[in-house]
Chains A and B, each alone.
Chain A
Amino acid sequence: MEIKLVKNILDVNDKLAEENKTLFRENKVTAINIIGSPGSGKTTLLLKTIEALKDELNIQVIEGDIASSIDAETISKKDVEVVQINTEGECHLDANMIKQALKNLDLKPGLLFVENVGNLVCPAEFEIGEDFKVAVLSIPEGHDKPYKYPLIFSKAKAVVVTKSDLLPYIDFDMNAFRSGLASLNQDCRVFVLSAKTGEGMQEWIDWLRQIRP
């Protein structure tokens, strides 16, 4: 006998993601899932973003890594509440890990940044209940990434292109990058910035000030 299902294989994850999202709504939290390769500058971007916004907005952070708590320790020096998740081998955060982490976080109205495991592939597939995905791509990684990793670039609300201070030294074709991204995601915002020098940071910060679910 045939049984028709038409049921999403990630259904269990998606249901938990919805529960997380309900928690975010109840607590007036805007949750941003930050996704990018290892070394793309996610943590540095986060540190500079916290510096710029922490006096006007309540900011909380969930740090995802395969192992270690180096990032959480760095972030906690900025006096923001941070919870570390160690996935112990898993290549991405999923909704259940976020659900467990939220038990250790007293959600307050404001922004919640979730720094995903460094990886451009799997984190894009798993909803965690976030309001927005933000992709982080550094100049040295190259302009071809939207062509190679279409899923994350098609789902991101914004792409932050980091390490713009390296543009004079690297053959990064900004037009090829932008046109690839536009094919995947016509409404995606792009911020080209250097968290190190501060160049371009203002536009990103202003966007975060007004972005709401």
Chain B
Amino acid sequence: MHELSVTQSILDMAVEEAKKAGASSVDKISIVLGELTGIAEDCVRFYFDIIKKDTLAENAQLSFSHVPAVLKCKKCGYEFERQTFSFTCPKCGSPGVLIDKGKELYIDHIEVSFDGNKVGKEHT
């Protein structure tokens, strides 16, 4: 519901970092998005295409790494992703507990160019 303000933050942060580095453009913004944040990738992309105009990031692409929420079985220790309406371990049927994963919402890195020439590339 508030993807516009989140998208604005993404744009502002990327442009600020690019300016700090003396870059002439932002080419890519790499975002890590946890399932529990409820932020919808499609919405962010939609808003980004509108607000990026006339900024250093006007030709930038967004890339998303999604992090699922993971539960750990209290009994057998198996780690699993939740099923609809269930936090139960698919292996032994015992209840799982949420581990600290899936709440991520950060920019991992950006790629920038100087004077229109791309230098360096992504390391993944």
By a beta-carbon cutoff of 8 Å, the part of chain A in contact with chain B is: 1-12, 90-92, 119, 121-122, 125, 144, 147-148, 150-151, 154, 179-180, 182-186
Determine which of A121, A147, A151, A182 lies in contact with B95 in the assembled complex, contact meaning CB atoms within 8 Å: A182
Chain B interface residues toward A at CB < 8 A: 1-2, 5-6, 9-10, 13, 17-18, 21, 23, 31, 36-38, 69, 71, 82, 84-87, 95-98, 103, 105-114, 119-123
Question: Which residues on A sit within 8 Å (CB–CB) of B107?
Answer: 5-7, 9
A10: chain B residues at CB < 8 Å are: 6, 9, 105
Given contacts A9-B9, A184-B87, contact A151 B103 (CB under 8 A): yes
Residues on B with C-beta less than 8 A from A180 are 87
Interchain Cβ contacts under 8 Å between A and B, 26 examples: A1-B21, A1-B113, A2-B109, A2-B111, A2-B120, A2-B121, A3-B17, A3-B112, A5-B17, A6-B108, A7-B107, A9-B13, A10-B6, A10-B9, A10-B105, A92-B2, A125-B105, A150-B36, A150-B82, A151-B103, A179-B95, A180-B87, A183-B97, A184-B87, A184-B97, A184-B98
Across chains A and B, the number of contacting residue pairs, with CB separation under 8 Å, is: 104
- Within the complex, which residue of B38, B82, B120 is in contact with A125, where a contact is CB–CB below 8 Å? B38
Query: SS class of chain A's interface: helix, strand, loop or mixed?
Result: mixed
A91 CA to B38 CA in the complex, in Å?
13
Q: How far is the CA of A167 from the CA of B37 in the complex (A)?
A: 31
- Whether B10 pairs with A9 at a CB distance below 8 angstroms is yes
Q: Collect the chain A residues with CB atoms within 8 Å of residue B9's CB.
A: 9-12
